[in-house]
Amino acid sequence: MKFVLNIMLLAGAAPLASAGVTMHRSGLTARVPTNFQKRKGVLGSMSSKLSRRPMQVPHADASLTFELIGAGVLGAAAWGIAKSTAKEPASVAPAVPAAPAQLAPAKTSAPAKKPSMAELILEGGMAQKTPKYYAKQYPSKKLDELFAGNKKWSENMMSNKPELMEKLGSMQEPKIMYIGCADSRVPESMITGMNPGEIFTIRNVANQAQISDNAVNSAIQFGVLALGVEDIMVCGHYGCGGAKASLTNQDFGAPLEQWIGPIRDVYRTHREYLDGLPEADRLNALIELNTVEQCLNVLRTAPVQQKRAETAKQPGGPIPRVHAVVYDPATGLLKDMNVDTDKLFATYKDLYDLKIEA
């Protein structure tokens, strides 16, 4: 029914719209276009605004008159039918609220545990894909030799020292920390005959313990405060390439140039002594002096001073003890330089003591 009424309304409104008449719900009113007024000359000077009076049908054009009347009748009829057929909303009796059902009390459960980041990744919760690796295109014969040697070593250790290997699988208890050069000729465990797990190691070019180097400082902190090492050994070696480079005036570029700079400072500090030596002896003398200087740097660190303050009154003196040693690749021998690093540090205590109390 509403569809038919809409058709009738459109049928009545269309001719009126084409003639410039606008229809409103309060009744039929007209807005007569300006060109129509000028063409027919019926309304005279009447403006094109909405007329408040009944519209006068031009008598000069009968067809237009009947067209307007017919459109008005159709529109009015459609509007009247729409009003008469509109249904009032039926009155609905208020609903009586039903008595609440006796429901069993809901069971309260603990909130679900939020998975950790590791669990999400392992379970694929973060859409992580296993990286795809490819077989090496250029195998290395030396690497094959290395793995073959490791296999023999492992078989020998598992056969002769199974208890040690089982222990190493879960813990380490090193009592010595070794700060040495990265030179391939100085493998600390091999040259000392120590077992795995007995030496906590950090190696770099020219066995440096620079105060600004986080790698060395974090290793010292972990070794001293977490592992409880009792002796720290700074090991230089004769023929060190880093020390040799520092004796030249060549710029090696960053970061190597900045790394060997402190060794040049060691030479400057002891220049009178070094310049008085034969040129052939200067390099090894500089290596020894640099090793002692790195011992001093170790004693300057906060973890070492903290631990030594805590153990100052124990028998045997404070720990960790710091030692300067040098290795000779030509003979395979380690030499203790027999330097009392405690007295050395006491010389500069007013500069480097951090005043840490136990």
Catalytic positions: 181, 183, 185, 237, 240
Burial 51-89 (b: 16+ CB within 10 A, else e): eeeeeebbeeeeebeebbeebbebbeebbeebeeeeeee
Separation of alpha carbons 233 and 219, rounded Å:
13
DSSP per residue over 189-248, as a string?
A: HHHHTPPTTSEEEEEETT----TT-HHHHHHHHIIIIII--SEEEEEEETT-HHHHHHTS
**Three-state SS letters, 38-61:** HHHCCCCCCCCCCCCCCCCCCCCC
Query: Do you know the residue count of the chain?
Result: 358
On whether the CB atoms of residues 16 and 71 are closer than 8 A, the answer is yes
Least Cα distance to 303 among 227, 224, 208, 212 occurs for 224
Tell which phi-psi region holds residue 197, choosing left (phi > 0), alpha (psi between -120 and 50) or beta.
left
Least Cα distance to 229 among 298, 160, 297, 289 occurs for 298
Least Cα distance to 221 among 325, 324, 298 occurs for 298
DSSP 8-state symbol, 277: S
HSE-up (13 A, CA, CB side) for residue 65 = 9
Residue 261: which residues within 8 A CB-CB, separation 6 or more? 246
β-bridge mates for residue 202, sequence order:
179
Where are the extended beta strands (E) located within the chain? 23-24, 27-28, 176-181, 199-204, 231-237, 321-328, 333-336
Separation of alpha carbons 22 and 124, rounded Å:
67
